[in-house]
């Protein structure tokens, strides 16, 4: 079956450094990927998305990279701040959203 | 706009009891979803409704039923709760099922089945 997974369950970065969260997927028919941020006790919140006809998309302090050759996408957060501490999920969009298990990002002072 | 609202926020049930989780959205979205999230895991789709009047099974539908009451409301029912259904339940909505339509999530309902 299809799956969306992450390389690391936890990630700790120093405040001000850049963060990179990785995700791998198995279904090459996927045409749309999304990154969500989930803070403790809250529902997931949309960060950024990317279509399969793109390699890169930038938002405010965030960049998503998509490598279709190796079925890998990453979320880069520039100048990580304490407010970025959360669990980050990649998901395959479409009719049946498939979420990965998440990576917990901890920002160290 | 309140976005997506869910009630209740917390619930404790005994095995075999039934209950309905309520969800409403005020964004005039066509599609609505129910997910469950177990500790340390991602979200798994239980049921979804592409549009008013339609519902379809997701990845983990067993033990649940849904009703798309109208365009705004999408309820999830547990007919006979089991401890395996202890989880946090999230409702979400989007303009449509088509890719590129962001899903907006509610705050979740934390359910414990004893």
Measured between CB atoms, which of A42, A93, A99 is closest to B107? A42
- The answer to whether residues A93 and A2 touch, using CB atoms and an 8 Å cutoff, is no
Q: Which of A61-65, B35-39, B89-93 has the lowest mean pLDDT?
A: B35-39
How does B78-90 read in b/e, with b if 16+ C-beta sit within 10 Å? beebeeebbbbbb
Instruction: Report the pLDDT value the prediction gives residue A5, as an integer from 0 to 100.
Output: 62
Q: What is the DSSP string of A16-67?
A: TS-EEEEEEE--TT--EEEEEEE-TTS--EEEEEEETT-SEEE-SSEEEEEE
Instruction: Report the pLDDT value the prediction gives residue A104, as an integer from 0 to 100.
Output: 93
Instruction: Report the pLDDT value the prediction gives residue A52, as an integer from 0 to 100.
Output: 87
Measured between CB atoms, which of B99, B104, B105 is closest to A93? B99
- The answer to whether residues B63 and B76 touch, using CB atoms and an 8 Å cutoff, is no
Give per-residue pLDDT as tens, B83-103.
999 999 999 999 887 766 788
């Amino acid at each position: 079956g299809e799956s969306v997974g992450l390389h690391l369950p936890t990630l700790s970065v120093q405040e001000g450094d850049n963060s990179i969260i990785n995700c791998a997927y198995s279904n090459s028919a996927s045409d749309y990927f999304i990154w969500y941020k989930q803070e403790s006790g809250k529902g997931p919140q949309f960060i950024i998305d990317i279509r399969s006809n793109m390699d890169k998309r930038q938002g405010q302090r965030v960049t998503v990279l998509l490598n279709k050759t190796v079925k890998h996408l990453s979320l880069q957060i520039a100048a990580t701040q304490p407010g970025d501490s959360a669990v980050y999920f990649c998901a395959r969009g479409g009719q049946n959203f498939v979420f990965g298990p998440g990576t917990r990002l901890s920002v160290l002072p | 706009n309140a976005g997506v609202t869910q009630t209740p926020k917390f619930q404790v049930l005994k095995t075999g009891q039934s209950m309905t989780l309520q969800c409403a959205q005020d964004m005039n979205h066509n599609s609505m979803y129910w997910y469950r999230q177990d500790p340390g895991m991602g979200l798994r789709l239980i049921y979804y409704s592409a549009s008013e009047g339609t519902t379809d099974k997701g990845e983990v539908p067993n033990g649940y039923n849904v009703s798309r009451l109208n365009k705004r409301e999408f309820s999830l029912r547990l007919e006979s709760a089991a401890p395996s259904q202890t989880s946090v339940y999230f409702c979400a909505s989007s303009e449509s099922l088509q890719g590129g339509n962001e899903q907006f999530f509610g705050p979740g309902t934390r359910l414990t089945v004893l």
